[in-house]
Amino acid sequence: MRWTIEARPWDDRAGAELRRQQEREIDARYDLVNHEPGPPPTAANIDVFLVAVEPDTGEAIACGALRRLDATSAEVKRMFVVPRMRGSGVATGVLRALEAAAAQRGWRTLRLETGTEQPEAQRFYRREGYREIPLFGSYVGSTLSVCFERELDT
């Protein structure tokens, strides 16, 4: 493993830059601005924010977050890997760290939303044990959303 995964505050400068890169990529893919079908994640509603960092350079290369849905479930938000690190395994590392953080908090179910035009993300989540589910919460009725869920081992 060529990176470390660190818990950071939502307003961490490097994490915010990763989220901006993700937004630009998604906006370009969907030819939209403000593509968020649900309430945007904020410091007030994100419980866990993780950033993967290359130890030698200190460069932030990936991120992911958890937003609590209820007493036993949370939503994965803002999973992103810089393009040059895709395929390196860092996305799996961040996702597993998020799953561990969820389990520590007693959250047994993780859900997420990704886009219809993001087949790579859909393949990734399926490969990592997530199954497609009906649209949930604020994503119900979205024509651009695909939702997934995984029950965590307890």
Residue in the block written with tokens 């992103």: 80
Residues 154/106, Cβ–Cβ less than 8 Å: no
CA distance 76 to 52: 16
pLDDT value of residue 83:
96
What pLDDT is recorded for position 40? 87
Residue 30's domain is classified under what CATH number?
Answer: 3.40.630.30
First-last CA distance in the chain? 26
- Owning domain of residue 137: 4-151
How many domains does the chain divide into? 1
Tell how strand 109-115 and strand 73-81 pair up: parallel
Q: Is the pTM of this model over 0.85?
A: yes
pLDDT tens string, the chain, 154 residues long: the values are 689 999 999 999 999 999 999 999 998 888 876 667 778 899 999 999 999 999 889 999 999 999 999 999 999 999 999 999 999 999 999 999 999 999 999 999 999 999 999 999 999 999 999 999 999 999 999 999 999 999 998 6
**Three-class DSSP category at 88:** coil
